[in-house]
Amino acid sequence: MQISGLFCLLVGALFNVVTAAPAPGCPLSGSPSFTTKNPLLPNPFEFLSGAPVSSKADWSCRRQEISTLFQQYELGIKPGPPDNLQSDFQKYDNGTGGNLTLTISSGGNTISWSATVVYPNVTTGSGPYPALIALDSLTIPRPDGVAIITAFVSQFAQQDNSTSRGKGLYYELFPDNSPQAASAMMAWSWGVSRILDVLTSSTDVGIDATHVGVVGCSRWGKGSLVVAAFDERLALAIVQESGSGGTACWRLSDVENVSVNGSDTVQTAHEIVGENVWFSQEFEVFANETDGTQRLPFDHHMLAGLVAPRGLFVIDNLGYKWLSPWSSYGCMTVAREVYKALGAQQAFGYSEAANHTHCQFPVADQGGELDTYVNKYLLGQQIESNVFRTEANFTFDEAEWIDWETATLS
Ligand SMILES: *[C@@H]1O[C@H](CO)[C@@H](O)[C@H](O)[C@H]1NC(C)=O
Ligand SMILES: *[C@@H]1O[C@H](CO)[C@@H](O)[C@H](O)[C@H]1NC(C)=O
Ligand SMILES: *[C@@H]1O[C@H](CO)[C@@H](O)[C@H](O)[C@H]1NC(C)=O
Ligand SMILES: *[C@@H]1O[C@H](CO)[C@@H](O)[C@H](O)[C@H]1NC(C)=O
Ligand SMILES: *[C@@H]1O[C@H](CO)[C@@H](O)[C@H](O)[C@H]1NC(C)=O
Ligand SMILES: *[C@@H]1O[C@H](CO)[C@@H](O)[C@H](O)[C@H]1NC(C)=O
Ligand SMILES: *[C@@H]1O[C@H](CO)[C@@H](O)[C@H](O)[C@H]1NC(C)=O
Ligand SMILES: *[C@@H]1O[C@H](CO)[C@@H](O)[C@H](O)[C@H]1NC(C)=O
Ligand SMILES: *[C@@H]1O[C@H](CO)[C@@H](O)[C@H](O)[C@H]1NC(C)=O
């Protein structure tokens, strides 16, 4: 193996200080009112202050407000870039890819984290290639023409069970056990952002940083939504069978849940915070309380809204009640309103297929749809993408779950 690149990125010790202060040029922010419960899905097009969101500039302010709220109350705070980031790409002798090692320092702590890169099997050209960052492993067929970068996120922030809080490389860098410390998924998001730092500042890896997506299934599906929501450099998120905590809305999952012999049938906020460390400790305040998520000024239609207007393809599976298929379909129906408001409806795809083994992508059924989003948002093809369907027989009446109208943002 040869060292084909070594570069060093120095950035200030900037932390995204998350406060209630508005971003420059944005209207004064309000504070969430936690005293009232709202069983409906909150309005993405209204600032906390009550002011309407009526232009794309307003949306960019509102987007920051929503991002801050998710960090403060659900996912934990994402720090800014590290003091120092170095990367070393060791290309394999056989030319099929390589090993990318990041050495990251912050506050006197240093960690080293590696990702693998596999180039597409092409006989012509030599890149730079578009890429998909797979969280821990790839669970869709490897798309033609796209490199696969595997980010070993569970090493970065562990998620074996509820005892995993604060374990993993990220927490060696940022030892913090406050309630708003980054959850495992927010830590993953921070790690993937560092991979993107390297891809955007160096050509050594041979990846086209403007065409990079993220993909994951199940818990990693939840993760791929979070990763894309908190890094606008990602061009596409493929969110597979993510269920509650991903593309389902907390409020809707609570409605879809019924108890069978004392056990929930659907994963709810209440269950999820006891199961694992995907969310911040702060979120437990809401999740532990009956209908406590109704006090939150957001739900996951707004998390998906943070990805807009970039590509987002959501893949669901009707076979597992636990994944809350109705909640996910309903939540994404409402999330799509954000895309519509931005004139980007085509960037949002939703496909919910009939029962199949969890995370075994049904190529015959959904392969063409997946190709459409990959071809358009990673390979840059100018094609139509209008996927929004479920193979279930249920319906979701938006009017029952929202009391606001979709803005037209110009
Ligand atoms: C190329 O080399 C890498 C690293 O040794 C190895 O993991 C990979 O399987 C090889 N690929 C092929 C197609 O030989
Ligand atoms: C990548 O490189 C690092 C650092 O040299 C090493 O620890 C790791 O095992 C390598 N990973 C692979 C998959 O080769
Ligand atoms: C790459 O493609 C060629 C021709 O299509 C095929 O023979 C070869 O097995 C492929 N290699 C890999 C590593 O998939
Ligand atoms: C939690 O995961 C750790 C690491 O895999 C394991 O050692 C431990 O037994 C698990 N604890 C429970 C309660 O399952
Ligand atoms: C799930 O539904 C059952 C029946 O309504 C209820 O007893 C249980 O508390 C629910 N679980 C959650 C977390 O809301
Ligand atoms: C619920 O409990 C009853 C009685 O023990 C049992 O017959 C039934 O199979 C259980 N249902 C489920 C879904 O576990
Ligand atoms: C939420 O409930 C769990 C399980 O009962 C408990 O361990 C945790 O401390 C609670 N968290 C908060 C913030 O109340
Ligand atoms: C899905 O398929 C599996 C195995 O084929 C079966 O056990 C399960 O009951 C099915 N689920 C539904 C909702 O039909
Ligand atoms: C939907 O309803 C049709 C007609 O009743 C039935 O054939 C089909 O199996 C149903 N699909 C699902 C996923 O339940």
262 CA closest ligand 5 atom index = 7
- Among protein residues, the one with the nearest Cα to ligand 7's atom 9 is 284
pLDDT digits (tens, 9 = 90+) for 288-307: 999 999 999 999 999 999 99
The single residue listed with the structure tokens 């998120």 is 237
Q: pLDDT over 90 for what percent of the chain?
A: 88
| Per-residue pLDDT at 5 exceeds 50 | no
Instruction: Give me 46's structure tokens.
Output: 């209204």
**What is the rounded average pLDDT of the residues 92-102?**
94
The single residue listed with the structure tokens 């809080």 is 165
Domain ranges for the chain, please list them: 2-32+49-75, 84-400
Q: Is the CB of 319 under 6 A from ligand 8?
A: yes
* Residue 358 known to be catalytic: yes
162 CA closest ligand 4 atom index = 1
- Among protein residues, the one with the nearest Cα to ligand 8's atom 14 is 319
* Catalytic residue (one of 183, 218, 328, 351): 218
* Banded model confidence at residue 17, pLDDT cuts 50, 70, 90: very low
Q: Is the CB of 94 under 6 A from ligand 1?
A: yes
CATH class name, domain 84-400: alpha beta
* Banded model confidence at residue 16, pLDDT cuts 50, 70, 90: very low
99 CA closest ligand 1 atom index = 4
- Among protein residues, the one with the nearest Cα to ligand 5's atom 2 is 258
Residue 125: its pLDDT value, please?
A: 64
| Per-residue pLDDT at 116 exceeds 70 | yes
* Residue 356 known to be catalytic: no
- The pTM assigned to this predicted structure is 0.93
Ligand 4 center to 307 CA (angstroms): 34
**What is the rounded average pLDDT of the residues 212-235?**
98
Testing ligand 2's pocket by substitution, the residue of 99, 102, 169 carrying the most ligand atoms inside 8 A of its CB is 99
- Ligand nearest to the backbone CA of 165: 4
pLDDT digits (tens, 9 = 90+) for 146-186: 999 999 999 999 999 999 999 999 999 999 999 999 999 99
CA 73 to chain centre: 16
**What is the rounded average pLDDT of the residues 221-250?**
98
How crowded is residue 186: how many other Cβ atoms within 10 Å of its Cβ? Answer: 28
Ligand 1 center to 215 CA (angstroms): 23
Beta-bridge partners for 239: 216, 314
* Banded model confidence at residue 258, pLDDT cuts 50, 70, 90: confident
